[in-house]
Structure formats: C-alpha cells, structure tokens
Amino acid sequence: MNNSQTKHRSSKLISHANGKSLEEINGTVEVPRGKGFFRTLLAYSGPGALVAVGYMDPGNWSTSITGGQNFQYTLMTTILISSLIAMLLQNMAAKLGIVSEMDLAQAIRARTGKALGVVLWIMTELAIMATDIAEVIGAAIALNLLFHIPIIVAVFITVLDVMLLLLLTKVGFRKIEALVACLILVILFVFLYQVILSKPDWGAMLVGLIPSAKAVSQGPVVNGISPLTGSLGIIGATVMPHNLYLHSAISQTRKIDHTDYEDIKRTVRFSTWDSNIQLSLAFVVNSLLLIVGVAVFKNGAVQDSSFFGLYQALSDTSTLSNPILISVAKSGALSTLFAIALLASGQNSTITGTLTGQVIMEGFIHLKMPLWARRLITRLLSVLPVVLCVMLTAGESELKQHEAINMLMENSQVFLAFALPFSMLPLLIMTNSKVEMGAFRNALWTQILGWISVIGLTFLNLYNLPSTFRGFGIWSNQTATGLAYVTIIVILALLGWTIIDIMRGDKRLGAQQIKHKWEA
C-alpha cells in the first residue's frame, strides 16, 4: 500500500480492519530476556490491572455492600469462588491472545459465519453499554457528592472523559497501565482504611470464606433479597464478558518472538502471574466492600443502598458501628473518601470499556474508528437512559430518585447474564482445541474446572432470569415469568448455533492445517 492510500485510509472516521488486535499498541512493549523473576514480572505487569478494573467497577459496589448488610459474612465464599473462576477464565483469554495472535472476537469470527458474527457483535456491544451505564451513574454521583454539581449536569460532564482518553492515547500504553494501577490502589486504600477503623470480626470473616449451602439458600429473605439472590448479584457483577475480550487483546501488547516456543511459554507464564496478582487485589477490594457492609454500619442501618445512601450513611454518626468511625465521620473524611474511590472506579472503567469496544468492533465486523470517536458514541448512548431516569423522577422525593437511579444501574447489569455464555463457551472450546493452541491447549484439570465453571455460571444466570424479570415491576408476575422463559429458550438456541458453528470452524481450520503440511 502506498503512502497516499495509507493517508486516505487513516483520514476516514470508520475504516476497514482485518489486521492485528489493537494494532496501534500490539507488540509495542519491550520485555527483558534473561533477567531475574521480579524484573521480568514487572515488565509483563499491566494488562492484569486493566482487566481487574472490571471486577471492582461501580456495578460491584452495591451488591457487595448490600450482601454484607443483609447476610453478614455469609457471601464471602461467593466472592472467593467467583474470583477463582475469574482467574481461570482470564488466564484462558490471555493465553488465547498470546498463542493464537488473535483476540477472542477475531478467533470466534474466524470460525463462524457473517450472520452469527453480527449477532454476537450486537450482543456484546449492548453488554458494554450496560456496563457503561453503571460507570456513568457512579462517576456522575461522585461528581455530585464531591462538588455539588446537579446530577443531570454531572451526567453530561462524564461525556468529557473522552478528552482524558484522547490524552492517554498520546502518552503510551505503559503509562495507561500505570495510571490504572494507581487508581486501583486509591480504591484499595479507601476501603482498607475504613475497614481497619471498623475493627471487623476477622474470625467470622474467615469462616465466611468456607463454602456453605447458606450462601445459595432461598431463605431468610432480608429486605426482599435471599442469600441466593445476593450471590447471583455478586457473581453477575464480577464475571463480565467484556473482560475476556479485553484480556485476549491487551495480552498481545508485549513484544515476543512467535517462532520461539520458549518465548511464548515465558509470556504465558508471566501473563498468568500478572493476571492472578491483579485479580487477587480485586478479590481483596470486593471482600472489603462486603466487610464495609457488615462492620462499618450498624446491622440494618442502611435503608438506602444507592451510592447516595451509602455516602449519607458514612456521614451519619447514628448509622456507624463504633466510636472511632463516628469521630472520623464527623470530619467528613469517610464520606469524601468513598466519593473519591467511586470517581476513581468510574474513570478506570472508562479506559477499559473503550479498548474493549474497539476490540469487538474490529474482531466481529472488521470495522475500525478512532478511540475518542468510539468512546463518544458509546458514552452518549449510555447517557440517554440515565438522563431519562433523572427527568422522569424529577418530581419525586429524593429517596425515590435515588432508588430509581440505583434500580437502573442494577437492571442494566441484567444484560450481562445474556452475553456472558457467548464469550465463556467459545473461549473454553477454543483453548481446549489442539488446532488453535497446540502444546498450549488447556490441561485436563483446567478443562474439567472450565466446564464446571462455564456450565455453572450459565445455569445460575439463566436460573435467576424469571425473578429478575419479575423484579422490573413492568408486567404481571405471570407475564414476566413467561417472557423470561422465552428469553431463556432464545439464549439456548443462540448458544447452540454458536457452539455448532465454532466446532465446524475448528474442524475446517484443522483440515486446512493438515493440507498446508502436506503441501509443504
């Protein structure tokens, strides 16, 4: 391609893409050879931080804190198990990207027809927008709490984070990774500080980590929520489809020699270390959030579980559990730190959401646009439901407005239950495949744990749909249940189509490999 053609192509807002995943940053980060373990790990560290952001975004906060308020330490085991499943799936995603040199969207599209590719793209785009709604709400509320900006104005200010992203794309990917890691540490510090002041029952917390039937029981029902519902909420807010696409792309940012087996092996190894360390931090943050619900507040003291309600509860000495917290709360420090952590969480998710959007657009439909344009379109679409929610509840009481915004955020996460199986199942099938992974295919124990995790998460997400549809309050219970079952049938049919297409595609690719060997 000559220079004039390249220039013309780059000047278009939307252009054709069929090259490497996130081509601008693919293979741009140098890594040392023959150095010590920690120096090498540092060079590979970064992608795990961007992935871990999705496991501690604003969508996780209310589920974990409410779970602690309602059921004490019972749901600690749910956070632990969902974190271990996340580690398993994210390691598969990173390995797929490193070994195959394709991200998850590209690998799926290579095996499926155009029609299914478009269906999966639309589904994943909607899942990213659903995640973005939680980020808009979290960031807008944080701006309102910190600077007293009217919520409707704060919502539109969140659109301007596209300028932050535009700036970051100019400074290099390593600096983006460093910024994200710093914001994660801010969130960790805020909740660790609050938990230490609250003097929790560490023994009861450790007992809560032990798997128990109580965590998935349908009783007791507290504030309209059972332990099972609370567990499903935590799982739904933890394992999200966009993280699998993201990790399979950004794991390719390190410069490696794909003709060298040892180089690939080293990259897989250190990427696994990076991912597991960062996801362990995410587990700690989510555990701290649940402990905040148990130990910082008096049992049942938080009536409004929205971000507004939690902020007010951290300012109200009557809701706090001990004299130390009360004395710190009088200075406003607890509530201010909470709002700062909320803003940090929203900004972190902004960066990763935009990168993921680019990955799935390029991978599924081979279209590409500048990151700032991609972000602006996605954010404007995500802002609309929030603006409508604020406008429709403008005449209601403050508590009703907070409840409506909180309900919008929680309901937006429901779509993640639809989209998750369509990323998990293909990922598992492809990383189990010798055609794609060769010597790096999943070990037998990984395959077994993978199938248990994928089938279990898919079942739990679909199992919870009838009660979720009834919770919308739009239809009668009978109609809501009927719609939920129709949705489940459609999802299972689409899953069947996806699995069959991927299996056929895998056989086709295998046959092509054999043909090339014979020709060689």
* Chunked mean pLDDT (size 10), the chain, 520 residues: 41 59 82 87 90 79 81 91 92 94 90 89 86 82 89 83 64 78 86 87 90 83 78 77 90 90 93 94 90 79 74 81 81 86 77 80 81 73 82 77 76 74 92 87 94 88 79 81 92 92 85 67
Contact 128, 357 (CB under 8 A): yes
Task: Decide if 154 is inside a domain.
Answer: yes
Q: What's the CATH code of the domain at 363?
A: 1.10.4160.10
Q: In the prediction, which pLDDT does 414 show?
A: 67
- Whole-angstrom distance, CA of residue 446 vs CA of residue 92: 9
Spatial contact of 63 and 292, defined as CB atoms under 8 Å apart: no
pLDDT score of 2 = 44
The number of folded domains in the chain is 1
pLDDT for the residue numbered 175: 79
The domain in which residue 326 lies consists of: 16-417
Q: Is residue 509 a part of any domain in this protein?
A: no
Which residues are CB-neighbours of 50 under 8 A, at least 6 positions away?
A: 176, 177, 180, 246, 250, 351, 352, 355
Whole-angstrom CA distances from 156 to 115, 136, 153, 242, 381 are: 35, 9, 5, 24, 11
- Asked if residue 379 belongs to a domain, the reply is yes
Q: Which two tokens stand for residue 211?
A: 């798997």
Q: What does the pLDDT read at residue 1?
A: 42
pLDDT at position 8: 38
Q: CB–CB of 415/127 below 8 Å?
A: yes
- pLDDT value for 280: 93
Whether 499 maps to a domain, the answer reads no
Q: Nearest to residue 58, comparing CAs of 405, 385, 484, 327?
A: 405
Q: Is residue 10 part of a domain?
A: no
Phi, psi dihedral angles at 232 (to 5 degrees): -65, -35
Domain for residue 214, yes or no?
yes
Residue 519 lies in a domain: no
Question: What is the pLDDT at residue 334?
Answer: 84
Cα 186 to chain centroid, rounded: 18
71 located within any domain: yes
Structure confidence at residue 300 (pLDDT): 65
Under DSSP, is residue 222 helix (H, G, I), strand (E, B) or coil? strand
pLDDT for position 163:
65
Please report, for residues 44, 97, 102, 206, the alpha-carbon distance to residue 30 in angstroms, rounded to integers and kept in the order given: 9, 17, 19, 41
